[in-house]
Amino acid sequence: MSSGSLDLSAMMCCQQEAVVDTDDEDPGVAESAGADSGVAKGEETATAFASPLSKAVASDAPPTPAAAAAPPTPPTVAATPREKAKESPARRVEAEFAVLAESGSALATSGSEGDFQEVTAKLAAGVPFVKHCSDGKTRARTLILSKAGDKVGWKVGQSEASMLALKDVLEVRAGTSIDPSTVGDKKHPNGLAGTKVLRRCADGPGVCKKAFSLILADRSLDVELSSERECARYRAALERLVLDAKL
């Protein structure tokens, strides 16, 4: 046999051995190793991007329960004097004065300087009003201010000597304000609105919403005007005039 034939035989043997080595490798084992490697890498990536919240959920510590809100307390509704009063007309009207006193429905008395000057000018000229009198009657009168602005009268042409001195006025009381002399009464311990004269003359407590009284030591001048707004304006002006007169 020639040397060329030997070389060819040797090459063929080497190729056969290489084929045998390749066939001996288990393909399932190689695929399993590759899959395990991919899963490990995926788990590492998921762990790296996990949020703190997800890590906390994964831990064994239970979440802290939220505090329960306290239920609201229902308001207490007290019986009104109207509900406590008997159904007789006299008691019903008296109870309405008690309700009016508790409501405090008088309008605010504060006003601008311009409004005060306007009201004062009208008082100097005379303002029509309804006078509630101690004899139980009402009379059409004119509320008028003295030239010096320190007295008030209730008739056109009334002499200033017979007018009421504003410095002697103890209170300019809204018709809806509590009469202190009625506080502590057995029937209405919280008091009644207005004055004794207003409660006697008024056509129901509604009149008191547009009325006020100049309270003096021995009497009162009880004034009813055309509306609640006008009442508030004139009451505010007279409160200021009374303060100025006492200086």
Please report, for residues 81, 172, 175, 188, 234, the alpha-carbon distance to residue 103 in angstroms, rounded to integers and kept in the order given.
11, 18, 12, 14, 21
Residue 36's pLDDT is 46
DSSP one-letter code for 209: G
Nearest Cα to Cα of residue 115 among 242, 16, 239: 239
Residue length, the chain? 247
pLDDT one digit per residue (tens) for the chain, 247 residues: 444 444 444 444 444 444 444 444 444 433 444 444 444 444 444 343 333 334 444 444 455 555 555 556 655 545 554 444 444 444 555 556 565 555 544 444 456 788 899 999 999 999 999 999 999 899 999 999 999 999 999 999 999 999 999 999 999 999 999 999 999 988 889 999 999 999 988 677 788 999 999 999 999 999 999 999 999 999 999 999 999 999 9
CA atoms 184, 186, 188, 193: torsion sign? negative
Please report, for residues 16, 142, 149, 231, the alpha-carbon distance to residue 117 in angstroms, rounded to integers and kept in the order given.
128, 19, 12, 16
Residue 94's pLDDT is 57
Could you give the count of Cα atoms lying within 13 Å of 102 in the half-sphere of its Cβ? 14
Residue 67's pLDDT is 54
Residue 129's pLDDT is 98
Residue 205's pLDDT is 76
pTM over 0.85: no
Starting at the edge strand that comes first in sequence, how are the strands of the sheet with 127-132 ordered?
164-165, 151-153, 138-145, 127-132, 220-224, 211-215, 171-174
